[in-house]
Chains A and B, each alone.
Chain A
Amino acid sequence: MSVSLPRLAAAAAASGAGQAAGWPGGRSAAVGALQAALAAEHAAVYGYGVAGAHLSGTRQRAAARDWQIHQASRDALAAMITALGAQPVAAAAAYQLPFRVSTGRDAVMLAAFLEDRVAAAYLGVVALSEPRLRLFGARALESAALRATGWRGQTLAFPGLEAPAPGPVPAGPGASQPAPSAPAAGPSTPGPSSPGPASQSPPPPTGPAGA
């Protein structure tokens, strides 16, 4: 399942030749999709920090694990973007949470929400023409969907394409399950949130504060 990041970075760098290398859409499309994914990863790193502060025990450890995964994904994406000759987008100083997080349950739903947004961001990478980046995006989407399922306790029909409304969700059978048991996706499966092929990037899962 894991994709070699160095190889992907090389693929991304090769795309620096853009259209000349036969990439329809080429380099700028790749940079745009990867930047959107990076923005979502930045937001996830911030959001998991908030979520972790409201969790304990197994769930806190799960949040810490996912936080680390998003940090690694963030760094990998930044390297890929740099390899393409672009400046990776920076994290915002703070992010506005989609809803108030004051309990463990809120924190679990925040984690699921963050993963939904990251999954959506990687769909933008899936729309790229370069086969390795497309597969990379698909695997990252899958990893985010697995983590979201672990937090939410429920599956979705169209991860990344359609997400439930943000916010504490009605208690379901899954909501009370012991946190995420999704396989740890390593750093090789970053998962930002990127827009569809022709759409503008959606606001990050948690928009920059004051935006």
Chain B
Amino acid sequence: MVREATRRGVLAAAMSLPLVATGCKGVGALGTPPRQQPDVAVVRDAIDAETLMISRYNAVLAAVPALAGSLDPLLGQHREHLARLRARLIEPSTATRPERPSTVAASPAGVPGTPAAARAYLRHAEQAAAQTLLGKLTAAPPSLAQLLASIAASEATHALVLGPGRAA
């Protein structure tokens, strides 16, 4: 948000410059407005994905409270993922992002009501999330790629322990 705002500010300033002053080089002299770093988009996507995953766990726990014992540790690890990802963004934690669709805030619908089905639901979500993160690896700078790969590995292990044969 801060960067967005800054960029808009730069653009606005550029547009409002009196053109009489362009006797020299004009607006172009101000240079290209700063572009959002590609890794910022990657981090934001990862934050959205973690937020959605947490909301899935919360929805499952609301529907099947008996799973708390096995799901709480996994949910706690997703919260750690989210915190670590948020720490990657240099912006006030209270910043809102009105430009983003609010799909993330929506509570997942159709959460299964039986323990086995709920675990399968989360297992598939974990597998998909891990796969999505792996797809973002090459767009990230090295240290972010390491964080994403580690989170993807964590999610893969979540899928493992949510698998059949691993009783709740």
Contacts and interface: CB of A to CB of B under 8 A. Distances in A.
Interface residues of B, number: 30
Contacts of B81: 157
Interface in B132-167: 134, 137-138, 142-143, 145-147, 149-154, 156-158, 160-161, 163, 165-166
Contacts of B154: 145, 155-159
- Leading 8 A-B pairs by shortest Cβ distance: A127-B142, A157-B77, A145-B153, A138-B149, A157-B80, A149-B157, A197-B142, A155-B157
Contacts, number: 98
A141 B150 contact: yes
B71 to A, nearest CB: 11
B153 A141 contact: yes
Given A129-B142, A135-B137, A160 B149 contact: yes
B73 interface: yes
Interface in A121-155: 123, 126-129, 131, 134-135, 137-139, 141-142, 144-146, 148-150, 154-155
Contacts of A181: 160, 163, 165-166
A182 B163 CA distance: 10
Given A138-B134, A142-B156, A146-B156, A155 B149 contact: no
A119 interface: yes
Interface string B76-88: 1100110010000
B122 interface: no
12 contacts: A126-B149, A127-B142, A134-B137, A134-B138, A139-B134, A142-B156, A146-B153, A155-B74, A159-B153, A183-B160, A196-B143, A197-B146
A150 B149 CA distance: 19
B130 interface: yes
Contacts of A119: 153
Interface string A147-191: 011100011111111000000000000000000011100000000
Nearest to A134: B137
A131 B135 CA distance: 10
A24 to B, nearest CB: 10
Given A157-B80, A196-B143, A197-B142, A137 B160 contact: no
Contact of B160 (A135, A158, A182): A182
Interface centre among A131, A144, A159 (most CB of B within 10 A): A159
